[in-house]
Chains A and B, each alone.
Chain A
Amino acid sequence: MQRHRWLWLLAAVLVIGLVAAGCGDDDDDDEGAGGAETTEERSFESGTTMARLQEEGRIRIGVKYDVPPFGFRNPQNDQIEGFDVDLGNAVADALGVRPQFVEAISDNRIPFITDGTVDLVLSTMTINEERALEIGFTDPYFIAHGRILVPEDSDIQGIDDLAGNSVCTAIGSTYQETLREQAPDADLSLVDTYSECLELLQNGAVDAISTDDVILTGMIIQDDSLKLVGDELTVEPYGGGFKRGDEEFQNFLNEVIAEYKADGRWQNSYDEWLGQHTGEDQTPPDATLADALEGNIE
């Protein structure tokens, strides 16, 4: 009996050790790639979100973990990387704090903002009016366009061919509505993440995926037996999301983004994550939040 008791104790210690190790691991993961405190620290009026974040020494940023090249886990070093992550590191640098990245999928990124799980969301999120009633948006930092992705040998040539075919997109994305309006006879498969859409397309369970061109480009980088078809369906200006009504934080973020666009960091990040794969040149968008909300972007 005595012996058994020792065994139980050993098991308990092992379990606690494993849990502790697991937590420790997570912390390491969340450090992010960017070095903090590279720029001189700005001071902010107390009571602002910026002052609170500096006091806490970290900013929690919701990004995608499965959408290359915007936010994904690099299988080589297990770090979260991508275009959105670069911008997140820039925001953390401007505050002189440590970025802590949290996985935010399409369906939970807005609740994450409203319930305070994250301070900022940079998760390939399109600015639109309905969302602007729930959360605050920064000026657009990237302009994507809606497209359709199909296997190389598919007969689908555009949105009109989707009728009677199954098409996958993420639950909580703008494409839920877009597809219902533009392809009412398509059979919609709604899943949590775009990596699941890719799995369904690859195993033949769906005929097409529809979402932002840059996300679809990321899928082609992973699997070159897929191709983009059809015209641009929509314009999707990406904005950072934060708690609605926090104007000081909004101004701060817009300043950081404007600087990021102007001093070449945006261009470097674009070239690294997108340009070298697509071979296309692009300059930072100069549209404002108002343009995005009014649909004045090409």
Chain B
Amino acid sequence: MIDVLTDNFDRFAAGLWVTVRLVGISLIVAFVLGTLVAALRVAPSRLLRSLGGVYVEVFRNIPLLVLLFIAFAGVRRAGLDISAWTAGTLSLGVYTSAYVGEALRSGVAAVSEGQMDAGLSLGFSYRDVLRRIVLPQAFRTVIPPLGSITIAMIKNSAIVGASLLALPDLLKEARIVNSNTFQTTEAFFWAAVGYLLLTATATVIFRALEARYAIRR
């Protein structure tokens, strides 16, 4: 069992590092775009709100694998020289951003309207009410769903590796180890351990955030 890991440690380590970078970059893309989309979704203008809605529905309702094929094979065929890394991180990031946007919107919606009214009637500006009263409370309620989304994204990164982008991520390296050694159970066991390491790290971070921003009720 352990010898499959030690004999092929370089491969597993290289694969894990590719997965970490893939997840890291996609996570930034997802949170930046997700925040922008959430802002659109709660905007005072109806046009902006429906724009955000279309974005969410489009990217949440297309399978990630299809997005990857469009973003890589499709875009390249259309003549744009997009790299596998760009296509992979962009697809995973955009796909996840739809979920991040919805989580953030639900957080804002969870803060009752009375708070906004109270803030305004006390003489705060709209911006100040959002910044000092609504958003801090919204942030607190969205930590758990954002944690779930992050974990789902770490696991979805394996789809990027399995697609025709041919990025040498953790799963791909485990498959190479498997085809070299024929130790199927062991090769994929260590891949599972690698993904668990990443998801467990995400869990710990989000738990800590939850505890840090908890309110006693």
Give me the interface of A with B, judged by CB distance under 8 Å: 106-107, 110-111, 130, 133-134, 168, 171-172, 176-177, 189-192, 196, 199-200, 203-205
Contact of B84 with A by CB under 8 A: yes
Q: Which of B76, B166, B176, B179 contacts A204 (CB 8 A)?
A: B76
Per-residue CB contact flags for chain B residues 51-88 toward chain A (1 = under 8 Å, else 0) read 00000000000000000000011001100010010000
Q: Which residues of A contact B76 (CB under 8 A)?
A: 203-205
Q: Do B184 and A190 have beta carbons less than 8 Å apart? A: no
CB distance from A115 to the nearest CB of B (A): 9
Give me the interface of B with A, judged by CB distance under 8 Å: 72-73, 76-77, 81, 84, 162, 164, 166, 168, 172, 175-176, 179-180, 182, 184
Q: Which of A134, A172, A177, A190 contacts B168 (CB 8 A)?
A: A190
Other than the known A110-B182, A171-B172, A190-B172, what 7 A-B pairs have Cβ atoms closer than 8 Å? A107-B179, A133-B182, A172-B179, A176-B180, A200-B166, A203-B77, A205-B84
Chain B interface, >50% SS class: helix
CB distance from B145 to the nearest CB of A (A): 31
Q: Which residues of A contact B162 (CB under 8 A)?
A: 192
CB distance from B74 to the nearest CB of A (A): 9
Q: Which residues of A contact B179 (CB under 8 A)?
A: 106-107, 171-172, 176
- A203-B73, A203-B77 known; A111 vs B176 contact (CB < 8 Å): no
A192 to B176, CA, bound (A): 11
CB distance from B160 to the nearest CB of A (A): 13
- A203-B73, A204-B81, A205-B76 known; A107 vs B175 contact (CB < 8 Å): yes
A178 to B168, CA, bound (A): 18
What are 19 A-B pairs at a CB distance below 8 A? A106-B179, A111-B184, A134-B182, A168-B166, A171-B175, A171-B179, A172-B175, A176-B179, A190-B166, A190-B168, A192-B162, A196-B164, A199-B73, A199-B164, A200-B164, A200-B166, A203-B73, A203-B77, A205-B72
Q: Which residues of A contact B81 (CB under 8 A)?
A: 204
Q: Top 7 closest A-B pairs, CB basis? A: A172-B179, A203-B76, A189-B166, A196-B164, A191-B166, A134-B182, A203-B77
